[in-house]
Amino acid sequence: METVKVYQIGLGDFGRNGFEKLIELQRYFGKVDVQLKGICDTDFERLEKAEKFAEAHDFFIETFQDVEEMYEVAEQERGKIMIYDSGPSETHSRHIHRSLQNSFFHLAEKPPSMSREEHLSEKEMSREQEIMYMVDFIERESPVVKKAQQLLEEEEVERLDIFRQSSIGLQKLMQPVKRAGVKGGAVLDKMIHEAYLFDLLGTEEMEFQSAGVQRFMPKTLGAEKFMSIRGGYTENIGKNTALGDVKALFKSGGTDVTLHGSWLGFSEDARKAGKKVRDAAEHSVLESGYQTVEGKAFLDEECRFFTVQGTRNLAGDMLNGKLFDLDTGEEVDTPDLIHDQLHRVIEKAVLNAAGKRSDGIGQHEVDEFMDSLFMVQESASGDEFDELEKSRERLKEMVVEDRKILEREESDTIAG
């Protein structure tokens, strides 16, 4: 049996979940001998908890607070090595480089890179070293996507709309320390998830048409500067400015594809699409409520869904794991898979690292998708003063100083 030795970077919420999946694979996976050798995080308490969790399952892992030290230890190993990177977004590209230099297989959380330059550099090094790296596009493992893909195999898809929107941008402004790790804006934090569009359409092509930025992210509440994609600030609008609400149009074969991403709650397009789904299937794809932080109530919204128009009309609610036929209004049964999406992504990565399979999203698809997202990010433009004012107005709509519930215009379009 092939052995794959794994070193993990990052024990945040997502990383902790991935760590538990690796322990499970080490205990029960029968296709590859998975050995979780070490884990790196800057937080000593997280490392201590991980170490105790591993010991409770009769495993010993080495812990590191310095990534370079971890790589130096991994370099001394023989055999096949996999790095699982669930650390901060801004370090992903650097870690991919480090892994490829050592011919380590690498599984990166999204986004793999924060700029076109970083992505091109990763692509070139991967080709030179003849080593593959993977990105954890976990929505490709969703039962909703897999069933929709099956239903659309013989159908003509005229239009595909994908929505991933939430109030995380406002939460980041109100809780800057707690949400410090959230970066990228509506493109590199939200749209980055939608690579499953290749599965639904059965194509590897995306042709950028246009993008419309509704709002940019201010650095703070009432700020005179914009937030950057890396969490800092910028005074000017450009490719490094975090987008708060954006819609991007593409062509993929004969299909019109629109991606809708937001850090500032629901767009009007999301409300309209949500209403159509609710009218057809009596199901809400829009979740809306209020949370309170330090005496201020704020509008907490989230949606993750897609709609398909063509010879078969579908709606997939990724947040709640449901698929609907919009022509009949009926829910479509989705496959009951044994493991969750992240488990299946890591399992496939381990198999790829062992040389037992080479599936997953291909390099060409990654290039197409990332190139398209960078086009959206780089297309941002506008008058700085006007755009800051628009963003501030949106934030005022979402925050209630005295905890009273706002009366929202057109509330009948929100499925609560």
d(CA 374, CA 380): 10
- pLDDT band at 362, cuts 50/70/90? low
Mean pLDDT of 179-184: 92
d(CA 203, CA 201): 5
Residue 344 pLDDT > 70 = yes
Q: Which two tokens stand for residue 398?
A: 């979402």
| pLDDT score at 359 | 59
β-pair type (314-317, 322-325): antiparallel
Mean pLDDT of 299-321: 97
- pLDDT band at 328, cuts 50/70/90? very high
Q: Is 162 in contact with 259 (CB distance < 8 Å)? A: yes
The listed CATH number (3.20.20.70, 3.40.50.720, 3.30.1550.10, 3.90.420.10) that belongs to domain 3-135: 3.40.50.720
Q: Which two tokens stand for residue 83?
A: 């790095």
Question: Partners of 220 in the beta sheet?
Answer: none
d(CA 41, CA 65): 5
Closest to 277 measured CA to CA, from 321, 327, 334: 327
Interval 266-279: pLDDT, tens: 999 999 999 999 99
Residue 414 pLDDT > 50 = no
Give phi and psi for 368, each to the nearest 5: -60, -45
DSSP characters over 375-400: HHHHT----HHHHHHHHHHHHHHHEE
Q: Is 184 in contact with 228 (CB distance < 8 Å)? A: no
Mean pLDDT of 368-380: 93
d(CA 93, CA 99): 10
d(CA 369, CA 195): 7
d(CA 133, CA 98): 12
Place of tokens 């419309």: 212
d(CA 111, CA 91): 10
- pLDDT band at 40, cuts 50/70/90? very high
Contacts of 339 (CB under 8 A, 6+ apart): 347
Q: Which two tokens stand for residue 199?
A: 């599965």
Contacts of 37 (CB under 8 A, 6+ apart): 5, 6, 7, 61, 62, 74, 77
Q: What percent of the chain has pLDDT over 90?
A: 76
Residue 118 pLDDT > 70 = yes
Buried b (16+ CB within 10 A) or exposed e, 70-102: bbeebeeeeebbbbbbbbbbbbbbebbbbbbeb
State yes or no: cis peptide before 176, omega within 30 of 0: no
**Between 278 and 13, residue with greater pLDDT:** 278
The DSSP code for 86 is -
Domain limits, the chain: 3-135, 139-339+367-413
| pLDDT score at 128 | 79
Give phi and psi for 34, each to the nearest 5: -90, 125
d(CA 12, CA 9): 10
The listed CATH number (3.30.70, 3.40.50, 3.10.150, 3.30.360) that belongs to domain 139-339+367-413: 3.30.360
d(CA 362, CA 365): 5
Residue-averaged pLDDT of the chain = 91
DSSP characters over 348-380: HHHHHHTTS---SS-HHHHHHHHHHHHHHHHT-
DSSP characters over 232-287: SEESS-STTBPEEEEEEEEEETTEEEEEEEESSS--HHHHHHHHHHHHHHS----E
Residue 64 pLDDT > 60 = yes
d(CA 399, CA 56): 45
